[in-house]
Structure 1
Amino acid sequence: MKEDNLEKKAAIKKPDAENPYTLLDLKLTPVKTWSAGIPAVLAAFADLIEEKAVIRGTKALFKMNQAGGFDCPSCAWPDPDDERSPIGEYCENGAKALAEEATSKRVTPEFFKVNSVFELAKLTDYEIGKMGRLTDPVYLPENATHYVPISWDDAFKKIAQHLNELKDPNEAAFYTSGRTSNEASFLYQLFAKEFGTNNMPDCSNMCHETSGSALRPTIGIGKGTVTLEDFYDTDVIVIIGQNPGTNAPRMMSALAKGKKNGAKIIAINPLPEAGLFGFRNPQEISGILGDGDKLADLYLPVKINGDMALLKALECFLVDFERKSPGEVFDREFIKEKTTGYDAFVERVEGYNAEELAQLSGVPLSAIYDAAQMIAFKKRIIVCWGMGLTQQPNGVHMIREILNILLLKGSIGKQGAGVCPVRGHSNVQGNRTMMIDEKPTDEQLDRLQAYFGFNPPRAHGYDVVRAIKAMDEGKVKLLFCMGGNFLSATPDTTYTANAIRKLNLIVSVSTKLNRGHLVHGKESIILPTYGRSDEDIVKGQVQIVSTENSMGVVQSSKGMLKPVSDNLVNETQIVCRMAMATLGDRSVVNWQLYHDSYNAVRDAIEKCIPGFENYNERVREKAGFYLPNAARDGKFITKNFGDRAPFTLTELPDNKLDDDEYMMATTRTHDQFNTTIYGLDDRYRGIKNERRVVFMNQVDIEKGGFKAGDKVDLFNYDDGIERIAPLFIIVSYQIPERNTVTYFPETNVLVSINNVVEESNMPASKYVRIKIRKHTPEIFERVKKIEASS
């Protein structure tokens, strides 16, 4: 019998951790200089047709982001507080996300019966995602080739058995994606803490952990300080390291409204993104028949990680302007009353040379001077950023440099001024508010202890990067994923995949199939759940859940579509049933109460988290309610500086490259949201029917002995390890020299697990040193050897 098991194990084929290394049929189209418009409308409805959900999906679109409707499962851009568009308060990406939730396609137990894990892994992420909605819980036994049906009760028994067999609660980790509701998130972290661990890696660890790490010590809160209305009444909007046309398309309406009211817009980004230049609002005649709205008044094509030099050059000009016009450029009263460290900061700035800084940034000195003039005599300034900053090794310091400029200007804590980190997934900010955090504060834990009566663990847990390393080292043996696609979202794909394979069990709460279900631990369980648009009925009553958007507004969300299966369980009840199965009589929490009543969950949140007074009443108000934000009110309550915001002294990075090196940043296509691939086009950048491309400057193409259209292989050698992303096509693009851009997750394999942001420990996926060589077929054998040796 033992020999038979060994033979069976040897016959198991290891699923691929990567997308298949195959090219499609790349077509290049003209690069767009404007976004949205009628093409966005057509693209949105094309997805509804493809998913065979035209009637069902169209009905839902008119309820998405509306008062009394459901929150978009895509980005976290806020809804207007007052009137919302009756035509549709959603964007192209939101419509695509809904189409995939509303799809008529089903992934049933019969599907898994005829499709092995290995065969499914041969498909691309796009093909896997298009299979449809999961309908039933399934289980992959150790050494098995196919998932098999499992009852909900048996699934929870198996999870409980694995959890209770751990020698230490810290051998488990509980991951969270950004779409989990406040109610489910609160209970999820509560279970983890009662179980005995703070190992709560989450998607914030990969997107905006850097923002929180930068903001909390300086202004006292790790969130933005502006409201949507601030965009309508401001003087200057700076967009840095962010592509609103793709990543937050509904932001375009706010930018256009601000522009019409007199605001100037400065765009700072290595790529000239369409959404930074023009916007055609499909709900207005000018967006259909006219040229739409010109947005950016000034575009600064900064090098990758040249942002710090650019910001310091801006400061050099501002200090000079202030010297010539004392008190007219800087807000002296604000600086005196609300900041500290001004003199040392100005002394540091005076030691820099603006011309040298401009050369380091890659932006002409004259253009930086123009930007400085645009903000010099204005007070109402908003600075927005995305992962173009947060995924840089010095991202924390760059955000603090942005704060330095705003503090000089007194441009924070007043109407039309402040910081705006543009969050990605729809409730990623709410997750953190609900204490999904590997580093909870003593104050948070004290409140939990006082209300529930157990002593939660005080030691910090693992974030995403540390969790992957702990899995590789055998310190974490069970990973529970509340949503998301952990494998495709994380860095160093080969390393991460092999770390996952060492787990005893991985559990995934999901709506659709993804690659994270195919690269698994010794055992794997998939638990199907509701989407945001699905009607959630508990005890005969249709339930509401709640989310928090990028600007700290908590609002209700009420699904309205009939679920795709009668065998789905909502995330809140999944947590409760797992808790009851695992903790049994030793729990002091009334999990059955929370299983049966979302109102009861909100009552508990109200008692444990400040700002949620009268939660059940206020969340049902038309526009929801704002959470407290002292910095928005001009009050900086910091741990080390009292009621003052500090100026921060930062350093310039060393971005020197070897002669044969390039700097690479990963990005996503317009047909993609996070790891979900909606299609194979990147319409605004002129890419059609291909994802394996590398954008290069034409000068670099020629110097490297390449030509546009060449097939190449990409290499990274961080930590003395060879990492290879094979078979890419060179595309000539307007990008700074020695800089390249590729799509993720295809090039996540090149991002070392040790290439992280200082302080926040986020993967630095926008700062990867690579080498580019002409493609050779033999490269695939090298890739296989690397995977085998790992």
Structure 2
Amino acid sequence: MPQDKHGHDRDDTPHYDQASGGWGSMRGIARILRDQKPSVGAMRTLWRQNKPGGHMRTSCAWGKPKVPHPFEFCENGAKATIWDLTTDRCTPDFFAAHTVSQLRGWSDHDLEKTGRLTHPMRYDAVTDHYVPCSWDEAFDGIGARLRGLEPKSTVFYTSGKAALETAYLYQLFARLYGHNNLPDSSNMCHETTSVGLKKVIGSSVGTCVLSDFDHCDLILFFGQNTGPNSPRFLHKLQQTVERGGRIITFNPVRERGLVEFTNPQRPTQMTVTKPTPISKMYLQIRPGGDIAALAGICKRVLQMEREQGAIVDWPFVEDHTTGLDELEAWLQATSWPDIEAVSGLTRADLEAVAVAYASSRRVIGVYGMGLTQHVHGSLSIAMLVNLLLLGGNIGREGTGISPVRGHSNVQGQRTVGISEKPELVPLDRLEELFGFTALRDEGHTTVTAAEGVLDGSVRAFVGLGGNFARAIPDQGRTDPAWAALDMTVQIATKLNRSHTLVGKTAWLLPCLVRAEEDRQATGPQAVSMEDSLSTIHGSLGKRQPASPDILSEVAIVAGIANATLPPNDRVRWDDWTGDYGLVRDLIEATFPDKFADFNERLFTPGGFYRGNAARERQWKTESGKAQITTPKVLSALGQVPQGDQMTLITLRSNDQFNTTIYGFSDRLRGLEGSRDILLINPEEMARHGLAEGQIVTVETVLDDGHARAVHGLKVTAFDLPDSCVAAYYPEANPLVALNYHDTLSKTPAAKGVPVRIRPHRQGDPRS
């Protein structure tokens, strides 16, 4: 019994019967509190979280309001902070009791569950153990090894957690050292946004600010799971619905946060009144079907314009865009049966969306990795921009394009220079400030860095946070290759799988979390980050550090740089470590148009907006106008399933953030326990001759000479479109090929992997 467009669950598959938020979220937080037993003061830390003068959460990048709620945190934000402030400790004694080879077999959850790292550690290859060392020993050893390597053979990776101050110094270190190899977590998720939006509107980020959501009439949601990934966004969605606005969602998976919401900030709704319905229509689109769906909507909008007029904003289109004639001819030549077949949606539903669009004066397009992680993801984004441009829905209050980022500063670190593309960084200004000659050749992305690990051209890897080896595609091929590197360096707060994939020499360096006090020579230091809405926020930690032997990320980056680079009177690592305000002065000097009066505005309530030319209808594109794009293909998939093939989408559960697994409850989908499952709808289960609970192998179907498979997945009925299966990230990452990525950005196509299901044979040891 499939659900209908209004969001009714089918009753023959697992699902969550309650609204997102509410008491379920409170119980989820309580469970992590019991599990982690955080340090005294954790609740005071949560009270300060995301508030002016407080600390900014380390997970979600959603905006922070000028006037915060009493509790300005969500379930997963609380989990992330509690996870950071655990009383568990991963000490030298733990490493003395376990070899690295043994730890390599531990689960992601169990590795991080060991607690906060407390001491700098050096890998001893003879004993296969991490052993404690001093910070001077670590810095000197890393510096000596880096000086002996060709700089272009090294990679400096950063996760999205590092603050603006750390990110700026890290990219400066890389360029002074002699390379642009600065891949980051954006390469794996929203690089398609950075490249795709830049091409069509001249901006690499979205155009909305938080207040736009107070004025929109319609929000179109594509491929973003708000419930667990950015729950504070649900407040704006709830307010939109309550003032008469509409939300229409396109997603292969029915996510509870976009179905209904109980606001934990409202005692009456928590106890008496009903949840707030969120999506007016919930359309379970096929993976990769967004181009086709948007084509259908645009096709009907233009037809209505021809029939009745007053829908297309012609003054805007004529003054600010180019390319409409070509798109219109393509749409007229594209048939409705083809649109329906690729999107998996009916003409009637898509025409209903077009009517809603035509009757809305202010429209916002919101999307997540359901659009970005496809072979033609950039075309999906371009098609969403096309629809918005038809109505002049970019550059007015209550309108715009709004990608929702994941990690707290993944957008901001790109703003201050973390980029492998030299043309995106003011290298002339850096040369002027620091007296050196910067390389102009393009550096490694995540994909090319992983390829370099495989082919041996990458000799050293420095990871500023994150879990790179676990997050990347093709793990079955890359995991053994790390041992051949001359050096791996990991800056981290907790143990993870990347730390067990060591090079010939390896260092594990513990750092502060954002909630902890960062005290340097001039006193406690604040840091800053940029949210998804291009707004800058200051953050000040207050908690006692987990160990006296851990350092801040700034101090670690500066310490390695000091030990690696020759003296330079203009480069003052010690001074910058002692006073982060000096680093913010450097950021302002390098990017004066974005960071004027940086230190003075650091703790502006609600943050300060760094600006966006596209929001002002200034189009920094090749044509000088916003580009209406003709996509040429209807499917964003690189390979459309044929015969017994299926399309795999990778998912995150309600109990994880990126590769961090807090537990084994995917409450908002009605799934509990094992993460080694394969989700498939009952009709497809029957078509493939599968049974509930059957153990299967999933194999990638690509003709590139490499076999990729994940074994031991349990078949589980779930509400998904036809020709589609789903499995958890990062467990399913071995199925994602490095060479299967967005054509423009090289973002891995993790939402559209061509696969085949093979039942296990009796006696198969891999079951």
Select which of 503, 524, 536 maps to 2:506. 524
SS at match of 1:501: helix
Equivalent of 1:693 in 670, 677, 682: 677
Q: Which deviates more, 537-546 or 670-679?
A: 537-546
Provide the TM-score with structure 1 as the length reference: 0.93
How is 1:194-273 mapped onto 2 (pairs within 5 angstroms)?
194-273=176-255
Find the aligned partners of 1:624 and 1:687 in 2 and give their Cα distance. 38
SS in 2 for 1:720: coil
Distance (Å, rounded) in 2 between the aligned partners of 1:295 and 1:383: 15
| Alignment of 1:93 onto 2:76 | yes
Give 1:443 shift.
6.0
| SS of match in other structure, 1:527 | strand
Alignment correspondent of 1:545: 527
In structure 1, give the amino acid aligned to 2:556.
I
CA distances 1:102-157 after superposition (whole Å, capped 9, x unpaired): 10000111110111112222221111111100000001133441100011000011
Residues in 2 aligned to 1:442 and 1:274: alpha-carbon distance in whole angstroms: 38
Equivalents in 2 of 1:520, 1:268: separation in Å?
42
Q: Residue 731 in 1 paired to residue 721 in 2? A: no
Question: Aligned to 1:441, what secondary structure does the other structure show?
Answer: helix
Q: Per-residue CA shift, 1:696-718, capped at 9, x if unaligned?
A: 01111111111112111111142
Give 2:20's match in structure 1, choosing from 32, 35, 54.
35
Measure the CA separation in 2 of the matches of 1:518 and 1:665. Answer: 27
The answer as to 2:263 corresponding to 1:289 is no
Larger CA deviation: 575-584 vs 425-434:
575-584
CA distance in 1, matches of 2:600, 2:420: 30
- Between the aligned partners of 1:48 and 1:473, the Cα distance in structure 2 is 44
Partner of 1:565: 547
SS in structure 2 of the partner of residue 749 of structure 1 = helix
Q: Residues 239-290 of structure 1, C-alpha deviation per residue, up to 9 Å, x if partnerless?
A: 1011101211111111101111221000000011111110000111113332
Give the aligned partner of residue 117 of structure 2. 134
CA distance 1:157–1:51, shift in 2 (3 Å): same
Equivalent residue for 1:758? 743
Structure 1 pair 195–587 and aligned structure 2 pair: CA distance change class (3 A): farther
Matched, 1:381 2:366: no
For 2:727, the equivalent position in structure 1 comes to: 742
Superposed CA deviations along residues 49-71 of structure 1, whole A, max 9, x for unmatched, are 21112743212110110111000
Question: Which of 60, 63, 69 is 2:45 aligned to?
Answer: 60
Measure how far apart 1:588 and its partner are: 4.4
SS in 2 for 1:65: coil
Q: Matches of 1:93 and 1:673 in 2, distance apart?
A: 8
1:451 matches 2:433:
yes
Contact 2:155–2:460 under 8 Å retained in 1? yes
Gaps of 5+ in 2: 1-12
Distance 1:450 1:442, change over 3 A: farther
- Matched to 1:756, the amino acid is H
Task: Give distance in 2, aligned partners of 1:89 and 1:234.
Answer: 23
Post-superposition CA distance 1:280-303 (Å, at most 9, x none): 001111133322210000111110
Secondary structure of 1:436's aligned partner: coil
Deviation by residue 1:444-498 (Cα, 9 ceiling, x = unmatched): 1111111111111111100010011112222110000000001111101122212
Q: How far apart are residue 776 of structure 1 and its match?
A: 3.6
Within 1, Cα distance between the matches of 2:146 and 2:569? 14
Give 1:778 deviation, angstroms: 5.6
Separation in 2 of the partners of 1:92 and 1:409? Answer: 36
Comparing 577-586 and 465-474, the one that deviates more: 577-586
2:652 is aligned to 668
- 1:714 equivalenced with 2:698 (yes/no): yes
Match among 445, 460, 463 for residue 463 of structure 1: 445
Inter-partner Cα distance in structure 2 for 1:349 and 1:659: 28
Structure 2 residue aligned with 1:109: 92
Contact 1:472 1:502 (C-alpha < 8 Å) held by counterparts: no
Which residue number in structure 2 is paired with residue 154 of structure 1? Answer: 137
Structure 2 counterpart of 1:48: 33
Contact 2:14 2:718 in 1 (8 A): no
2:632 corresponds in structure 1 to 651
Deviation sequence 1:566-596 (CA, Å, 0-9, x none): 0111011111111111113257412222121
* 583-592 or 114-123: bigger deviation: 583-592
Q: Is the 8 A contact 1:48 1:54 kept in 2?
A: no
Identity of aligned residues (%): 36
Q: In the alignment, what sits opposite 2:298?
A: 315
Q: In 2, Cα distance between the equivalents of 1:622 and 1:658?
A: 54
Separation in structure 1 between the aligned mates of residue 69 and residue 425 of structure 2, nearest angstrom: 41
8 Å Cα contact 1:171/1:477 also seen in 2: yes
Measure, in 2, the Cα distance between the counterparts of 1:726 and 1:777: 14
**Contact kept? 1:189, 1:435, Cα under 8 Å:** yes
Say which of 609, 612, 634 aligns to 2:595. Answer: 612
Give the whole-Å Cα distance in 2 for the aligned partners of 1:777 and 1:727.
12
Paired residues of 2:526 and 2:538 also in contact (CA < 8 A): yes
**What's the offset of the Cα at 1:207?**
0.8
TM-score computed with the length of structure 2 as normaliser: 0.96
Alignment partner of 1:278 is 2:265: no
Alpha carbons 1:280, 1:288 under 8 Å: kept: no
**Contiguous gaps of at least 5 residues in structure 1:** 1-27, 784-790
Q: Secondary structure at the match of 1:730?
A: strand
User: For residues 508 and 779 of structure 1, what CA distance do their matches in structure 2 show?
Assistant: 37
Alignment of 1:482 with 2:464, yes or no, is yes
Contact kept in structure 1, 2:681 and 2:718, CA below 8 Å: yes
Equivalent position SS for 2:33: helix
1:684 aligned to which of 650, 658, 668: 668
**Contact 1:317-1:354 at 8 Å conserved across structures:** no
Alpha-carbon contact 2:522-2:579 (below 8 Å) kept: no
The answer for the alignment partner of 2:3 in structure 1 is: none
In structure 2, do the counterparts of structure 1 residues 371 and 695 end up closer, same or farther at CA, with 3 Å as the change threshold?
same
* Mapping 1:570-649, distance limit 5 Å: 570-585=552-567, 588-609=570-591, 610-638=593-621, 640-642=622-624, 644-649=625-630
Q: Relative to structure 1, is the Cα distance of residues 661 and 355 closer, same or farther in structure 2, using a 3 angstrom cutoff?
A: closer
Contact 2:522–2:578 (8 Å) recurs in 1: no
Amino acid at match of 2:69: S
Output the CA distance in 1 between the equivalents of 2:762 and 2:432.
63
Identify the match of residue 84 of structure 1 among 60, 68, 74.
Answer: 68
Whole-angstrom CA distance in 2 between matches of 1:271 and 1:49: 31
Distance in 2 separating the partners of 1:632 and 1:259: 25
SS at match of 2:62: coil
Q: Which runs of 4+ in 1 moved over 4 A?
A: 777-781
Indicate yes or no: 2:401 matched with 1:416: no
Distance 1:172 1:503 in 2: 10
Count the aligned residue pairs: 750
CA RMSD across the alignment: 1.6
Query: Contact 1:701/1:732 (CA < 8 Å) preserved in 2?
Result: yes
Q: Deviations over 1:358-403 (max 9, x none)?
A: 1221012111111111101323100110011100110001100111
| Residue aligned with 2:650, SS | strand
**Equivalent residue of 2:536, what SS?**
strand
Q: Secondary structure at the match of 1:282?
A: coil
SS of corresponding position for 1:584: coil
Distance 1:760 1:500 in 2: 25
2: CA distance, partners of 1:125 / 1:704: 31
In the alignment, the residues of structure 1 paired with residue 413 and residue 230 of structure 2 have an alpha-carbon distance, to the nearest angstrom, of: 19
The one-letter amino acid paired with 2:626 is A
Aligned to 1:7: none
Q: Which moved more, 1:348-357 or 1:423-432?
A: 348-357
| TM superposition shift of 1:341 | 1.6
Give the Cα–Cα distance (whole angstroms) in 2 for the partners of residues 755 and 703 of structure 1.
Answer: 27
Structure 1's 29 and 332: CA in aligned 2 closer, same or farther, altered over 3 A?
Answer: closer
Q: Is the 8 A contact 2:665 2:671 kept in 1?
A: yes
Rate the CA distance shift 1:158–1:705 in 2: closer, same or farther, 3 A: same
Distance in 2 of aligned mates of 1:679 and 1:482: 25
The aligned residue for residue 344 of structure 1 is: 326
